[in-house]
A and B are shown apart, each in its own frame.
Chain A
C-alpha cells in the first residue's frame, strides 16, 4: 500500500465524538509506523515461507551430488556388498561393487503384502463408513481409524514383533513387517475411500437402484468405479507413506544381506539398507545412492497419485 497523503478536515461536525473532544486523527508518524510494520510483516512472512523450502533443495542436492555416481544398472540388480569388498573398493577409489537388489526385492514383497492386506480391507471399511454416515457404530469405527492414523510407526513395529515374530514365524520375518505396515497404511485408504464415495451424488445411486439393480451390485459396479480415481490416489499415497518407513521394519523384518523371497524369513528393504549403510563406515558411500533411489521411488509414487487424481477424475 502506498503511503499517500492525509485528507484534510472538511466538515465541522456536530457529532458526539466532537463534543467528547476525542480525536480520531492519526498522526503521520504513527501512520508511517503502521505501514512499515505491515511491510516488514509481509516481507518477513514471504521470506520465512520460502526459507522453509530450502532444506528440501539442500537434501535433494546432497543426495544427487553424492548419490548419482553409484546409480547404475548393477546398483539395482546386485545384492549389497559385504564390508570387505566395499573397503577395498573405497581404498582404491573405485565405485563400490554391488547394489541394493536385496532391498528392492524386500521392499516389493513387504509393501506388496501389506497392500494385499490393507487395500481390500481399507476399501471395504471406507465403503461401510460412506454408506453409514450417521450410524453409531460407524462413528466408533471412524474414531478408531482416526486414532490408528496417529499411532507412531515404532509402536506398530512392537505390535508386529509381538503378533508375528514371536508366535508365528518364530523369528524376524518379512510377514511381520507387512503386518505392521498394513496397519499403518489402512487409515489413509479408509479415509480416502470414504471421502471419495461421499462426494458421489446420491442421485447416481438412486438411478441405479431404480433400475432394479441390487444394492451390492450398485456399490460394486456403479459407486466404486465412479470413485476409482480418489480411491486409487489414497492407495498410492498410503503405499508411499509406508515405502520409506524404517523404524517398524527394524523390529520385524530386521534385514538380510541376500535376496530373500520367503516371507517367513528375515528380509531387507531399501530403507533398512540405508540404515545399515549408515551404521557401517565402509559402506557409507552407498547411503546416498540408496537414499536417492528411495526418494525417487517415493516422489514418483506421489507424482503418479497426483496425476491420477487429476486425469482420471470422473465428472458428475
Chain B
C-alpha cells in the first residue's frame, strides 16, 4: 500500500473538465463530507461526455460511490452531509435544483438488484411514473412496459409473467429489470453503482452488452470494481484514490499509458 507521502510530487491533471468536449455534466471542484472535516471525496473536477460510458474505478473506500451519488444527490439521504464545489447539468448547478426533479433527469441503478418486492414486474417498470403521480392510460403503460423490457432484453423472458412479483426472477434478470425501471422514466443520464458485482459472469456480460447498446440514447456513468469491465465497455475512465481523482482520460489511453504511478500500480494489480 503506497503512502501519500511517497506521491508528493504527483502528476496533477489540471482541469479535466476541459478535456471533454461539450460535456453533458460538469463536476467542478466537488468535495463531499458525511459530517465533520473529513471529506470522502476532495476537489474532484471532471466533465462527463454525452452518450458515452464513463467508468469510475478505484480501490474500496476511494470515494467512487460517493462521487456517483453526489451526481444525483442520493448521498443526501445520509444525515449531516455537506459539500463544496458544484455539479453542473448544462449550465445549472444541481445543488440549486429540486432534488426530485433532478433525479428525474439522472437515474440510478444499484449494486444489488432491488426491484420493489411488493410490486409486479409490470408495476416495477412504471414505478417512476406511479411514484411521481404521472397519470398514464392503460395502453401507454402497456407500451412503456413492453418497450422498456425489450430495450433491456427481458421482454421475451417475462412477457407471460408480467404480473408476478419481480423478486422471483434470477439476479441478472432482476438487475435488468432495475435498469428498465430507471430508463423507462427517460433520464438523460443513468448512474450505475457496481451493477454487476452481485451477478455471475453470464449475467454480467449480458448487462455489459446492454450498457454498450444503451449509450446511443443515454449518457452512462458506471462505478466498477472490475478493471477488465471498465476496459471492455467504457469510453472514458476515472481512477480515484483516497477521495481524490487521480487520473481521468480515454479508457484506451489510461489502460495502455497511465500517467500517474498510482494508476499504473492499480491497473497492474499491485493494490486494490
Contact = CB atoms under 8 A, between A and B. Distances in A.
Nearest to B129: A24
Nearest to A38: B100
B136 A22 contact: yes
Contacts of B132: 24, 26, 34
B215 interface: no
Interface stretch (B139-147, B191-199, B249-257): B139-147
A42 interface: no
A30 B133 CA distance: 9
Given A5-B97, A24-B104, A31-B100, A13 B140 contact: no
A18 B105 CA distance: 14
Contact of A24 (B94, B143, B186): B186
Given A11-B24, A11-B188, A16 B147 contact: yes
A8 interface: yes
A3 interface: yes
Contact of A15 (B99, B102, B217): B217
Nearest to B150: A16
B35 interface: no
B92 A11 contact: no
A211 interface: no
B101 interface: yes
A54 interface: no
Contact of A13 (B99, B147, B184, B186): B186
Nearest to A26: B132
A147 interface: no
Interface string A164-201: 00000000000000000000000000000000000000
B98 interface: yes
A4 B97 contact: yes
Contacts of A6: 97-98, 101
Contacts of A58: none
Given A17-B186, A22-B136, A26-B104, A10 B90 contact: yes
Contacts of B136: 22
A14 interface: yes
Given A13-B217, A24-B185, A7 B105 contact: yes
Interface residues of A, number: 24
A4 B186 CA distance: 21
Interface string B55-98: 00000000000000000000000000000000001101010111
Contacts of A4: 96-99, 101
B202 interface: no
B134 A26 contact: yes
A1 interface: yes
B50 interface: yes
Contacts of A2: 98
Interface in B198-228: 216-218
A207 B120 CA distance: 50
Nearest to B101: A6
Contacts of A18: 186
B223 to A, nearest CB: 22
B92 A7 contact: yes
Interface string B141-169: 00110010001000000000000000000
A109 B224 CA distance: 69
B206 to A, nearest CB: 21
Nearest to A4: B98
Interface in A260-290: none
Interface string B102-146: 101100000000000000000000001100111010001001100
Contact of A17 (B50, B97, B144): B144
A48 interface: no
A13 to B, nearest CB: 6
Contacts of A13: 186, 188, 217
A37 to B, nearest CB: 10
Nearest to A19: B147
Given A7-B92, A16-B147, A1 B133 contact: no
Interface in A25-79: 26, 30-31, 34-35
Given A7-B102, A22-B140, A14 B217 contact: yes
Contacts of B140: 20, 22
Contacts of B129: 24
Nearest to A20: B143
The interface centre, meaning the residue of B50, B100, B128, B184 with most chain A CB atoms within 10 A of its CB, is B100
Contacts of B134: 24, 26
Given A6-B97, A10-B90, A34 B133 contact: yes
B255 to A, nearest CB: 29
A34 B96 contact: no
Given A4-B99, A24-B134, A11 B144 contact: no
5 smallest A-B Cβ distances: which pairs? A4-B98, A17-B186, A16-B147, A6-B101, A10-B90
18 contacts: A4-B98, A5-B96, A6-B101, A7-B94, A7-B97, A7-B104, A8-B92, A10-B188, A14-B217, A15-B183, A16-B151, A17-B144, A22-B144, A26-B104, A26-B134, A30-B133, A31-B101, A34-B133
Interface of A: 1-8, 10-11, 13-18, 20, 22, 24, 26, 30-31, 34-35
Interface of B: 24, 50, 89-90, 92, 94, 96-102, 104-105, 128-129, 132-134, 136, 140, 143-144, 147, 151, 183-186, 188, 216-218
